[in-house]
Amino acid sequence: MNIITRQQKNDEHTAKATLLIIDDHEIVALGLKTLMGNTAAFADIDCATTARQALELSVGHSYDVFIIDVELPDMSGIELVKSLKALSPDSAFIFHTIHDELWTLRQMVACDVNAIVMKNEDTTELLTAISSVLDGNNYFSPHFRDCCEQMERYQPLSDREREILKLIAEGLMTKDIADRLFVSPNTIEFHRKRIMRKLGVTNMAQLVKEGIAKGYIKVKR
């Protein structure tokens, strides 16, 4: 009996994959091509150093995965992703960039790509992202997630988050809040964790205290 292992199945799947690397630094693009070629994950790997080259290649070729830098000489990677998605809606898109500014993070998140990896991280992060998107999953690297948490601290609470914070301050439990707002307990937990990140706190006592300090919770006198 021939037993096909999961790894063998993955090898068969990834051997059919095609990749386009888009980076304005040719040496970086070629370095990534060598790295990806050594993994035997792709049957075909191309490189482009401009958005125009990437679009021209994509018109005549169907790529399974795109690795895209945010900063390109003729068009931002943010805009390029939108154009490439129109050409290849079923492809996976990975941002690979050094830029971790607040506004850039927001733009990358808004693009709804499959993975984001920062260039100052170990190359294993990019390889993990590749493996994840080929399996149909999303992947966001540790440094990117840390940056997003920092970004959230600069954002005000939404109307729903303010509502939930007030109910927490009133002493309601997660299930009680969920019942009152006609949502699931998981949804309330998601909002609670996001509120805590935005306020930069780690426990419920700090949450209420910071909510009062920032004026989200009104104290009756």
The per-residue pLDDT for range 29-73, each reduced to its tens digit, is: 999 999 888 877 788 999 999 999 999 999 988 899 999 999 999
pTM as predicted: 0.68
| Selection from 200, 99, 115 nearest residue 149 by Cα | 200
CA-CA-CA-CA torsion sign (143, 22, 123, 6): positive
Question: In this predicted structure, what is the pLDDT of residue 38?
Answer: 81
Instruction: Give the pLDDT score at 218.
Output: 84
Chain-centroid distance of CA 207 in Å reads 27
| Helical H segments across 65-203, by residue range | 77-87, 102-110, 123-134, 142-152, 159-169, 174-181, 185-199
Q: What is the pLDDT of residue 11?
A: 47
60 close to 18: Cβ distance less than 8 angstroms: no
Residue 150: enclosing H or E segment and its boundaries? helix 142-152
> What is the Cα–Cα distance from 168 to 182, expressed in whole angstroms?
16
**CB distance 134 to 65 below 8 Å:** yes
Measuring CA to CA, how many Å separate 148 from each of 81, 94, 104, 157, 210? Answer: 20, 17, 11, 15, 20
SS3 (DSSP) at 130 = helix
Q: What is the DSSP letter of 89?
A: T
Low-confidence ranges of the chain (pLDDT < 50): 1-15
pLDDT score at 27:
94
Assign 137 to helix, strand or coil.
coil
Residue 221: per-residue pLDDT: 63
State both tokens at 137: 């999953």
CB 182 within 8 A of CB 176: no
Q: Which amino acid is at 193?
A: K
Helix, strand or coil for residue 140? strand
Q: Which two tokens stand for residue 127?
A: 């390889």
